[in-house]
Amino acid sequence: MLNEAEKLLIADWKGKNVLKDVSADLEQEGVILVCCSDGHRFGEMFCHLQNFTENIHALALNGGALGMGFPIKFFFRKRALRRNIQEAVDMKGWRHIVVSSHWPCGIATSNKLTLPEVLKRTVNASNYIKTRIRGENIEVFPHLHVDFRILPEKEKGNQRTYEICHHRIKELALAY
């Protein structure tokens, strides 16, 4: 559940265009989605992306791409994810990859990651994927899904997905 400080932080990031509405620049043909497999939020992350593209090849793993920025104990997870992304790119021939983290995330919490750290790791993982995945004109889009609901009430709605703007993060020099 989001606390008041986190709600304010998200509102601040939206105001500064660190977070913005997801652009419609995604390839219609298909997109590779790297995300957390959270059973309360995966469906919403997946369905939201369907507004922009017809086909989604989902690589869902606990914590999603957050594991790519973790220390050595996550080395195998990082390697497995990179290999799966490369395999998907080679197999499908698609060049757009969405890296979607979410908040609140159980894996982030169990690793004592704060919301700003999740944001930073998502951008870092996106940059890593862009440099390490082989293929022509690969583009990587970091997203942040936010669940404003108070579980376990599970009322519909109140979940949002934002695109994270790399450049705004650098300009703001957010303190992590």
Contacts to Zn ion by CB under 5 A: 36, 38, 105, 107
Backbone angles phi, psi at 116, to 5 degrees: -60, -35
Cβ 106 to Zn ion shortest distance, Å:
5
- Kindly tell me which of 38 and 163 has the beta carbon lying closer to Zn ion: 38
Q: Which two tokens stand for residue 92?
A: 């499908």
- Kindly tell me which of 28 and 110 has the beta carbon lying closer to Zn ion: 110
Cβ 173 to Zn ion shortest distance, Å:
27
Cβ 73 to Zn ion shortest distance, Å:
17
Amino acid identity of residue 77, one-letter, is R
Cβ 61 to Zn ion shortest distance, Å:
9
Q: Which two tokens stand for residue 57?
A: 């090849």
- Kindly tell me which of 89 and 105 has the beta carbon lying closer to Zn ion: 105
Instruction: Please state, in angstroms and rounded to a whole number, the distance separating the CA atoms of residues 101 and 45.
Output: 9
Cβ 54 to Zn ion shortest distance, Å:
26
- Kindly tell me which of 41 and 95 has the beta carbon lying closer to Zn ion: 41
- Kindly tell me which of 95 and 145 has the beta carbon lying closer to Zn ion: 145
